[in-house]
């Protein structure tokens, strides 16, 4: 009897774990909404190109022309993001980044991206920093704030 109960519990855990994993794997952005660091760096280096609104929604900041919002995992900073972004039209070119840790573990990018999506911003991009800001941006010599 104990073995049957244990077997049933294991089956339930596997089934529930599979559901939550597939939900976690689904990100709020599409592939076309991920911006390569080199692409943003090229835009920043060329003043003739249309410059996006660059929002630092993490801890460390420093990308040239970025506006410090603060860690988007905190409600106060999400409120700050909502207030700040309301000055821009919904089709504004927006790039958000954190860079605190590997992409998969970042506590800030998903809340910020979801907020922009929920508010109807259609040209939001997520800067692809899969490792961190130092490795994927600064170490490559891309433009930083002074």
- Encode pLDDT of 64-116 as tens digits: 999 999 999 999 999 999 999 999 999 999 999 999 988 888 999 999 999 99
Eight-state DSSP code of residue 138: G
Asked whether residue 81 is assigned to any structural domain, the reply reads: yes
Cα–Cα distance, 102 to 83 (Å, whole number): 28
Cα–Cα distance, 85 to 10 (Å, whole number): 47
Asked whether residue 75 is assigned to any structural domain, the reply reads: yes
65-87 core/surface letters (b: 16 or more CB in 10 A; e: else): ebeebbbbbeeebbebbeeebee
Asked whether residue 129 is assigned to any structural domain, the reply reads: yes
Q: Which domain holds residue 42?
A: 27-140
Asked whether residue 4 is assigned to any structural domain, the reply reads: no
pTM score over 0.85: no
Tally of domains within the chain: 1
Cβ-contact 58, 71 below 8 angstroms = yes
Burial of residue 63 (CB within 10 Å: 0-12, 13-18, 19+) is: buried
């Amino acid at each position: 009897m104990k073995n049957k109960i244990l077997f049933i519990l294991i089956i339930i855990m596997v089934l529930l774990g599979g559901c939550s994993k597939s939900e976690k794997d689904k990100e709020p952005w599409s592939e076309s909404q991920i911006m390569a660091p080199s692409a943003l760096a090229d835009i920043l280096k060329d003043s003739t190109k249309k410059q996006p609104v660059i929002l630092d929604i993490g801890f460390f900041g420093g990308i040239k022309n970025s506006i410090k919002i603060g860690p988007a995992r905190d409600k106060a900073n999400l409120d700050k993001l909502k207030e700040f972004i309301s000055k821009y039209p919904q089709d504004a070119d927006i790039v958000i980044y954190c860079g605190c840790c590997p992409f998969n573990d970042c506590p800030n990018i998903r809340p910020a991206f979801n907020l922009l999506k929920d508010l109807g911003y259609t040209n939001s991009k997520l800067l692809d920093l899969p490792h961190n800001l130092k490795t994927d941006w600064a170490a490559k010599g891309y433009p930083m704030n002074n």
